[in-house]
Homo-oligomer: A and B are copies of this chain.
Amino acid sequence: MSGRGPRGERGEQADRILAAARRSFATRGYAATSLRAVALEAGVDPGLVHYYFRTKTGLLEAVMQPPEAFGAAVAAAAEQPLEQRGRAFVQACLRLWEDPASAEILRAVILTAAQEPAALQRLRQLFSELVLAVVSHGLPDAERTLRASLISTQVVGMVMNRYIWQVGDIAALPADTVADLLAPTVQHYLAGSLPAQPGDRPDPG
């Protein structure tokens, strides 16, 4: 049990550290998390954190690798026909956040993005890879980014109220009901008609 050398398989301790860091970043926030506390929760010497991740931001970046569930869940939604894709995306997001493991990572990213450039960059990456993917099939280039941004507002707002703050009816209702409530909006942002933008050409149709 005690003694110095290697213990178990390569990366086993690193995984324990990662898991502990995820929990702490997600609940306490990045700034309020100390490497020592992470090490303690992981049952590991603090120096080991430095050995594997070098610095605190290094640990943050490792923590924020998006889970593979992302690709799968959202790609599936993106493949749906346009008429059902809005609802499919909302449901995919809800499922991701109902899973504690994914939720921890996402929570860390969301809360840290406002303060840490590394987290903000990861957020942008998730945004382009996930939300834009949903929008990109079968829609004109000119509208893609705007529609993706609108969808993002609706989904992010749901997440903040329901999963981060746990405030309001939206936090108490079952996930299916939330999907029923939000799907029409997301579907509208995805494929409905939008007001004219300042930079728009006049509609040729």
Contact = CB atoms under 8 A, between A and B. Distances in A.
Given A31-B32, A115-B32, A152 B157 contact: yes
A165 B113 contact: yes
A185 interface: yes
A195 B182 contact: no
Nearest to A197: B177
Contacts of A32: 31-32, 115
Of A29, A153, A181, A194, most buried by chain B (CB within 10 Å of CB) is A153
Interface in A72-98: none
Contacts of A113: 164-165
Contact of A152 (B148, B168, B173): B168
Interface stretch (A5-13, A43-51, A59-67, A119-127): A119-127
A149 interface: yes
B115 A168 contact: no
A101 interface: no
A180 B171 CA distance: 27
A150 B167 contact: no
A161 B149 contact: yes
Given A152-B157, A153-B161, A165-B114, A197 B173 contact: yes
A194 B178 CA distance: 11
A155 B32 CA distance: 28
A134 to B, nearest CB: 14
A32 B162 CA distance: 25
Interface string A127-151: 1000000000000000001101110
A165 B153 CA distance: 11
A16 interface: no
Given A111-B114, A153-B154, A158-B157, A168 B180 contact: no
Closest 5 CB pairs between A and B? A157-B157, A149-B168, A31-B32, A153-B157, A149-B169
